[in-house]
Chains A and B, each alone.
Chain A
Amino acid sequence: MIEAHLEKDLFGASGSFRLSVNFRVDDGQCVTFYGPSGAGKTTILRMLAGLETPQEGFIRVNGESWFDAKKRVLLPSHKRRVGFMFQSYALFPNMTVGGNVAYAMQKKSSAKLEDLLGLAGILELKDRYPSTLSGGQQQRVALIRAVASEPKLLLLDEPLSALDIPTRLELQDEILRIHRLFGIETILVSHDKQEVFRMADRVLSIKEGRIHAEGSPRGVFFKRRFSPKFAVTGRVLAIERADIVFRAFVATGTEILQVILGERDAKRFKPGDEVLVASKAFNPMLLPLFEPFDTQAPQHASPVTIGYVD
C-alpha cells in the first residue's frame, strides 16, 4: 500500500500554484491521475520516483518511509525500487533490447531475460537496437524494462500518448495484463478519458494541483443529475444554424457526432466546450467497426445511429 501527501510550489504556463495532494493506492490497484496538462500529474509521479523533491509531506510504501519532510527522510531514486515509464520511453540507445531489459534486472539470468521478453512478445527483437523499433515496440520494451527491476510501484507517465489508436488500444491491454500478472501497484497519468475507463480501478481527477474528484471512473466522470443509457464525452467543434434548429458537431475520440439543438442550447454551448452527448430514450446500436455498413438492414426508428467503439 502506498500513502502519500505531497506539497510543492509549481510554476505553470498560467502562473504559479501550489501542488497539494493526498492519496492512497491499495495493494494491487491501478490508479489513474487524470487532468489537463500542466495540472501537476507528472510532477507527482516524479516526486514518487525521487526525481523531484516535495517541499512538504511524506511518501510511505508498504510501511517503508521514502520521504518525510518532518523527519528529514529522503530516499534517493536508485534505492526506491520504482518502475518508471517515461513519455519518451528513455530506452538506452547504446544497448540492444535485451541489454536494456538485462540492465534493469537485479540478478542477471538469460533464462529470466528470455521469459520477460517473451512475456512482452518481443523475444525476436532481443538483439535489435531501440532506434530500429517502431513506437509500439519501444513502448513494450520500456514497459518490460520497468517491470524487470522488480519494482514495488509502477509509474506510467502518459505512456501511450504518442501512439496511433489501434496500437494504443492493444498496448492498454498489454499494460493491464502485465499489471495483473505482477500485481504491482500502478499509477498511470493520462488525459484520455477512454484510457482511464479501460485501465483504472480508481481515478483521481487533478486540476491546478488539487484532487477535485476521486472514485471509480464511472463515479467521477458521470456524476450527473440523470443516468443516461448512452453517453459519450466530446468537444464541440462547431455549431451552425439549419433552418429553424441548430446543428452541433461534437468530436468524441475518433468520431464526429451530429446533434440537433434548439436555440436555447445552441446559445449555451460554444466551440471548444467539453460536453456530454447523452440520451435516455433510445438504445444505441453496436455495429462492427471494420465492415461496411449494411444498407439493407432495417432502419431503427431512432433518428441517430452510432457506431460505438469498444
Chain B
Amino acid sequence: MSLAPFLLTFKLALCATAILTATGIPVALWLANRRSLLASGLEASVALPLVLPPSVLGFYLLLLFRAKGPLGAAWERFFGHPLVFNFEGLVLASVVFGFPFMVQPLVAGVRSIPKELIEASATLGKPWWTTLVRVVLPNMKASILTGCVLAFAHTVGEFGVVLMVGGNIEGETRVVSLAIYDAVEALDYRSAHVYASVLFAFSFLTLLVAYRVNRRFFSA
C-alpha cells in the first residue's frame, strides 16, 4: 500500500486533461461546421477509442512508441530517454485515448451556438479571435466543463492502454487501476479494497460536482 499510485494517477489525469483541452478546442471548432469527407474521416478517427478495445489501440501505440518505432526513435533522439514505459508516453497515450471524451462534447457545444451570434459579432467590427474569446467560448462553458470532467475521469479509470504502453513500473507508470490489479494478483485484497473504494468514491464525486455545477450555473 502506498500513496504513490494515487499521486501518479492524478498527475497523469491533470496533464492529459490540460493537453486535451488545448488541442480539443481547435479540433472541435474545425470539425463542428465542416461537411467534407476529410472532416467525417477525422470525426470517425477521433471516436475510434470509444469502440476499440484498449488492447488494440494500446498495441499500435506500443509499436509507434517503442525505441524502433517512428515516434519512439524521434523522441529518444530529442529527449534522450525512451517514450515507452515512461510517464510522458503514458500522457501521450492517454491523450489519444481521451480524445473523443473531450472533443465530442465540445463539437456539440460549438454546434449549439446560433450562427447569428457569430455573425453579429463580426458585423459589430470584431475579428474572429475576439469573437472566439468573448462570444464562442463563454457560450459553451458547459460543454468545456463536461469535456474536461469526462476526459479527466476517463484517464483516471484507464487500464488497458496504460498496461500496454506504460508497463507497470512503480512510481513511473503504476497508476491506481494497475495497483489494484497487482494487489489482487498478490491476493492482497485489503490493499485492493482501499485502492478501489477510493477510486470509486473519487470518480463518483467528480461527476456529481460536475453535473451540479452544470445545472446550477450554466442552465440558460
B122 within 8 A of A: yes
User: Which listed residue, A86, A103, A145, touches B119 by the CB 8 Å rule?
Assistant: A86
In the assembled complex, the Cα of A146 lies from the Cα of B116 at a distance in Å of: 13
> What residue in chain B is nearest A129 (Cβ atoms)?
B220
The answer to whether B122 and A78 have CB atoms under 8 Å apart is: yes
B41 within 8 A of A: no
User: Residues on A close to B: CB < 8 A?
Assistant: 49-51, 76-84, 86, 88, 90, 92-94, 103-104, 106, 131, 145-146, 149
> Which residues does chain A contribute within 8 Å of B135, judged by CB atoms?
92, 94
User: Which listed residue, B125, B128, B139, touches A81 by the CB 8 Å rule?
Assistant: B125
> What residue in chain A is nearest B141 (Cβ atoms)?
A94
User: Which listed residue, B114, B116, B124, touches A104 by the CB 8 Å rule?
Assistant: B124
The answer to whether A92 and B125 have CB atoms under 8 Å apart is: no
User: Which listed residue, A77, A92, A106, A131, touches B123 by the CB 8 Å rule?
Assistant: A77
Question: Given known contacts A90-B114, A93-B139, A94-B138, is B125 in contact with A84 (CB within 8 Å)?
Answer: no
Tell me the B198-220 residues at the A interface (CB within 8 Å): 220
In the assembled complex, the Cα of A200 lies from the Cα of B220 at a distance in Å of: 38
Question: Given known contacts A93-B220, A94-B139, is B124 in contact with A149 (CB within 8 Å)?
Answer: yes
> What residue in chain B is nearest A104 (Cβ atoms)?
B124
In the assembled complex, the Cα of A94 lies from the Cα of B123 at a distance in Å of: 18
* Sampled A-B contacts (16; CB under 8 Å): A49-B119, A50-B122, A77-B119, A77-B122, A78-B122, A78-B125, A78-B126, A78-B127, A86-B119, A90-B114, A90-B119, A92-B120, A92-B121, A92-B134, A92-B139, A145-B124
B7 within 8 A of A: no
The answer to whether A83 and B114 have CB atoms under 8 Å apart is: no
Query: Taking the nearest CB of chain A, how far is it from the CB of B102, in angstroms?
Result: 22
C-beta contact mask, B27-39 vs A, less than 8 Å → 1, else 0? Answer: 0000000000000
The answer to whether B126 and A90 have CB atoms under 8 Å apart is: no
C-beta contact mask, B46-89 vs A, less than 8 Å → 1, else 0? Answer: 00000000000000000000000000000000000000000000
In the assembled complex, the Cα of A90 lies from the Cα of B116 at a distance in Å of: 6
Chain B interface, number of residues (Cβ within 8 angstroms): 18
The answer to whether A49 and B123 have CB atoms under 8 Å apart is: yes
In the assembled complex, the Cα of A100 lies from the Cα of B123 at a distance in Å of: 13
> Which residues does chain B contribute within 8 Å of A76, judged by CB atoms?
122
> Which residues does chain B contribute within 8 Å of A84, judged by CB atoms?
119-120, 123
In the assembled complex, the Cα of A50 lies from the Cα of B138 at a distance in Å of: 25
> What residue in chain A is nearest B139 (Cβ atoms)?
A94
B117 within 8 A of A: yes
> Which residues does chain A contribute within 8 Å of B127, judged by CB atoms?
78
> Which residues does chain B contribute within 8 Å of A106, judged by CB atoms?
125
The answer to whether B123 and A103 have CB atoms under 8 Å apart is: no
C-beta contact mask, B132-148 vs A, less than 8 Å → 1, else 0? Answer: 00110011000000000
Which of B114, B117, B125, B128 has the largest count of A CB atoms less than 10 A from its CB? B125
Question: Given known contacts A84-B119, A90-B116, A90-B119, is B125 in contact with A79 (CB within 8 Å)?
Answer: yes
In the assembled complex, the Cα of A93 lies from the Cα of B142 at a distance in Å of: 14
The answer to whether B114 and A51 have CB atoms under 8 Å apart is: no
The answer to whether B220 and A131 have CB atoms under 8 Å apart is: yes
Query: Taking the nearest CB of chain A, how far is it from the CB of B78, in angstroms?
Result: 40
User: Which listed residue, B114, B124, B139, B220, touches A103 by the CB 8 Å rule?
Assistant: B124
Query: Taking the nearest CB of chain B, how far is it from the CB of A194, in angstroms?
Result: 26
In the assembled complex, the Cα of A106 lies from the Cα of B124 at a distance in Å of: 9
The answer to whether A78 and B117 have CB atoms under 8 Å apart is: no
Query: Taking the nearest CB of chain B, how far is it from the CB of A51, in angstroms?
Result: 5
17 new A-B contacts, CB < 8 A, other than A50-B122, A94-B135, are: A49-B119, A51-B119, A51-B123, A77-B122, A78-B125, A78-B126, A80-B123, A84-B123, A86-B116, A90-B119, A90-B120, A92-B135, A92-B139, A131-B220, A146-B123, A149-B123, A149-B125
The answer to whether B138 and A82 have CB atoms under 8 Å apart is: no
In the assembled complex, the Cα of A79 lies from the Cα of B125 at a distance in Å of: 6
> Which residues does chain A contribute within 8 Å of B122, judged by CB atoms?
50-51, 76-78
> Which residues does chain B contribute within 8 Å of A50, judged by CB atoms?
122-123
> Which residues does chain A contribute within 8 Å of B139, judged by CB atoms?
92-94
Query: Taking the nearest CB of chain B, how far is it from the CB of A132, in angstroms?
Result: 11
> Which residues does chain A contribute within 8 Å of B125, judged by CB atoms?
78-79, 81, 104, 106, 149
> Which residues does chain A contribute within 8 Å of B128, judged by CB atoms?
78
In the assembled complex, the Cα of A170 lies from the Cα of B138 at a distance in Å of: 34
> Which residues does chain A contribute within 8 Å of B123, judged by CB atoms?
49-51, 77-78, 80, 82-84, 146, 149
In the assembled complex, the Cα of A76 lies from the Cα of B119 at a distance in Å of: 11
In the assembled complex, the Cα of A118 lies from the Cα of B138 at a distance in Å of: 28
In the assembled complex, the Cα of A50 lies from the Cα of B124 at a distance in Å of: 12
> What residue in chain B is nearest A82 (Cβ atoms)?
B123
Query: Taking the nearest CB of chain A, how far is it from the CB of B116, in angstroms?
Result: 4
Query: Taking the nearest CB of chain B, how far is it from the CB of A235, in angstroms?
Result: 31
